[in-house]
């Protein structure tokens, strides 16, 4: 039997992603039929008023009968994270019977990670080194290196690493998982996956929306801590790593860590561009968003040029770009190959392999051919495979995959402590080298491509952004 405790069950993430993911997993029989889901929130709800709240908050098209049957199974327990008596009541409430796996999902601010873990342990709900008692810690794991290290040190007194699951939901996305499959199951790619053939790499994750209802969190974080530190660095590691053996959980994660340790920025003054959106096209400026201080210097955009100091990537630039209120929502990785050598046809457009994560899931590859007819003119063509366009294609949501992984006790789509540590180390060093961020802030119109300096970052190297 499986028992799930969802901390932060009344919050945005639980409503948007987690409760729907539990439903889907049950529908697909990837959760045992007798699973218990105990939703934990601070607000005063009875079991039924919480169920009504969920029905009210979660929209979407579903089989109504099945959805209502699912909702009826949700338990509710009111608990303040820092109130020991509330844990005692939780312990008294849960039925004492054999449970194979306990899953604690902490969809909460990271400042609560240690107190919740401590009380769960002290009240006997969590036992050191029992790997059937697992905790998922939502992103972000800390707000900087110091807080992440502190959290990790405290957790390690209550848990072994195998009980800890640090979430980065991008790792559950279908095409991000596919990066390794693409590389390690195709000789054509892996043989040329190095500095001899690849000129540079661009990783782009942009959004057209603003901060929505998450201003309180976002203004303390900004694009670098919210997106670069986790999602974009994870994407980079999957492109750049060299595992000793594939697939093997331990060596894959070690290969990723090796990349994170090797990251550097040649000159933070010129190779880091940050921006903040201002009012345009009927959209308000970041500083006018509800919950944002009117003098906020938080960056809503970041573009960087990064080096990976490993022999495979000598001289190859990795450009990362992310931001809010840009002209579109897109997630792509573009691998830009080198120009043809001097013994081949000169001045051809270079090959580009694009791994598409959003809005489509698939890949495109450009290549050159002879224009039909009597000339020797070159035309560039594109091969495209769109997985998400296939009839009957329905990939599970990233959260479904990741929750299923924890239930199976698998860590390969979760981040290990040393990965998180080196992500924060890189980000902090970069921020330190940048100096006062407010001085670097470039303002860009909402709905645009971002600050002009971000284009200049590539133009300086004779390149341009491939996506958006
Ligand atoms: N929302 C997203 O799209 C998203 C995406 C990725 C990661 N995350 C991460 O997931 C975590 C949760 O995000 P969220 O957007 O869901 O936040 P949220 O909407 O603010 O929800 C916070 C939850 O924590 C509970 N809570 C707060 N303080 C509490 C306390 N002292 N005692 C007991 N319960 C307390 C709230 O309970 P009440 O509502 O009952 O007060 C609520 O259930 C954050 O770390 C966030 O960074 C969120």
Q: Which domain holds residue 104?
A: 2-167
Centre of ligand 1 from the C-alpha of residue 227, in Å: 18
Ligand 1 binding pocket includes 138 (Cβ within 6 Å): yes
Centre of ligand 1 from the C-alpha of residue 110, in Å: 10
Query: Rounded to whole angstroms, how far apart are CA atoms 307 and 310?
Result: 9
Task: Tell me which residue has its CA closest to atom 24 in ligand 1.
Answer: 8
E strand or H helix that includes residue 190: helix 187-190
pLDDT(246) > 80: no
**Per-residue pLDDT reduced to its tens digit, 40-52:** 999 999 999 999 9
Same domain flag for 109 and 190? no
CATH code for the domain of 176: 3.30.360.10
Of 231, 404, 411, 432, which residue is the catalytic one? 231
The model's confidence at residue 99, banded by pLDDT at 50, 70 and 90, is confident
Q: Is 97 an active-site residue?
A: no
Query: Rounded to whole angstroms, how far apart are CA atoms 72 and 39?
Result: 12
Higher pLDDT, 152 or 344: 152
Taking alpha carbons only, the member of 312, 357, 302 closest to residue 171 is 357
Centre of ligand 1 from the C-alpha of residue 8, in Å: 5
Same domain flag for 54 and 125? yes
In a domain, 403, yes or no: no
Q: What per-residue confidence (pLDDT) applies to 213?
A: 86
Query: Rounded to whole angstroms, how far apart are CA atoms 172 and 17?
Result: 13
Same domain flag for 204 and 330? yes
At 205 the three-state DSSP class reads strand
Taking alpha carbons only, the member of 81, 75, 62, 65 closest to residue 35 is 75
Q: Which pTM does this prediction carry?
A: 0.96
In a domain, 408, yes or no: no
CATH code for the domain of 113: 3.40.50.720
With a pLDDT cut of 70, the percent of the chain lying above it is 100
**Per-residue pLDDT reduced to its tens digit, 339-397:** 998 788 988 999 999 999 999 999 999 999 999 999 989 999 999 999 999 988 888 99
> What are 104's two structure tokens?
């604690």
**Per-residue pLDDT reduced to its tens digit, 157-205:** 999 999 999 999 999 999 999 999 999 999 999 899 999 999 999 999 9
Query: Rounded to whole angstroms, how far apart are CA atoms 268 and 168?
Result: 26
């Amino acid at each position: 039997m499986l028992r799930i405790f969802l901390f932060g069950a009344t919050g945005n993430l639980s409503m948007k992603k987690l409760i729907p993911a539990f439903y889907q997993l049950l529908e697909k029989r990837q959760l045992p039929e007798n699973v218990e889901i105990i939703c934990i929130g601070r607000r005063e709800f009875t079991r039924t008023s919480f169920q009504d709240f969920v029905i009210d908050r979660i929209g979407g098209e579903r089989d109504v009968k099945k959805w209502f049957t699912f909702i009826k199974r949700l338990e509710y327990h009111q608990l303040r994270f820092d109130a020991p008596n509330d844990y005692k009541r939780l312990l008294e409430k849960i039925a004492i019977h054999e449970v194979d796996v306990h899953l604690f999902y902490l969809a909460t601010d990271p400042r609560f990670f240690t107190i919740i873990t401590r009380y769960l342990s002290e009240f006997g709900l969590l036992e050191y080194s029992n790997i059937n008692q697992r905790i998922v810690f939502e992103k972000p794991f800390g707000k900087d290196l110091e807080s992440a290290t502190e959290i990790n040190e405290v957790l390690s007194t209550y848990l072994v690493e195998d009980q800890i699951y640090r979430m980065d939901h991008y790792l559950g996305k279908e095409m991000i998982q596919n990066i390794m499959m693409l590389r390690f199951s195709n000789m054509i790619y892996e043989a040329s996956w190095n500095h001899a053939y690849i000129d540079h790499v661009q990783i782009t994750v942009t959004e057209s929306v603003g901060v929505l209802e998450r201003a309180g969190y976002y203004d303390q974080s900004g694009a670098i801590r919210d997106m670069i530190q986790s999602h974009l660095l994870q994407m980079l590691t999957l492109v750049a790593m060299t595992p000793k053996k594939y697939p093997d959980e331990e060596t894959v994660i070690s290969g990723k860590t090796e990349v994170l340790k090797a990251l550097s920025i040649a000159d933070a003054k010129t190779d880091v561009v940050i921006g903040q959106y201002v009012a345009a096209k009927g959209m308000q400026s970041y500083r006018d968003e509800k919950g944002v201080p009117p003098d906020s210097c938080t960056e809503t955009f970041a573009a960087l040029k990064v080096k990976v100091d490993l022999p495979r990537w000598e001289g190859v630039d990795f450009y990362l770009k992310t931001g809010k209120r840009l002209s579109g929502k897109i997630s792509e990785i573009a691998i830009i190959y080198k120009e043809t050598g001097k013994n081949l046809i000169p001045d051809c457009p270079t090959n580009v392999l694009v791994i598409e994560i959003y809005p489509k899931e698939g890949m495109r590859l450009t290549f050159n051919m002879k224009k039909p007819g009597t000339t020797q003119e070159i035309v560039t063509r594109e091969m495209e495979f769109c997985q998400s366009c296939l009839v009957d294609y329905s990939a599970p949501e990233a959260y479904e995959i990741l929750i299923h992984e924890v239930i199976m006790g698998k860590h390969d789509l979760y981040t290990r402590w040393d990965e998180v540590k080196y992500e924060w180390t890189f980000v902090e060093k970069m921020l330190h080298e940048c100096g006062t961020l407010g001085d670097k802030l470039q303002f860009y119109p909402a709905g645009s491509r971002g600050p002009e300096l971000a284009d200049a970052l590539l133009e300086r190297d004779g390149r341009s952004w491939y996506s958006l």
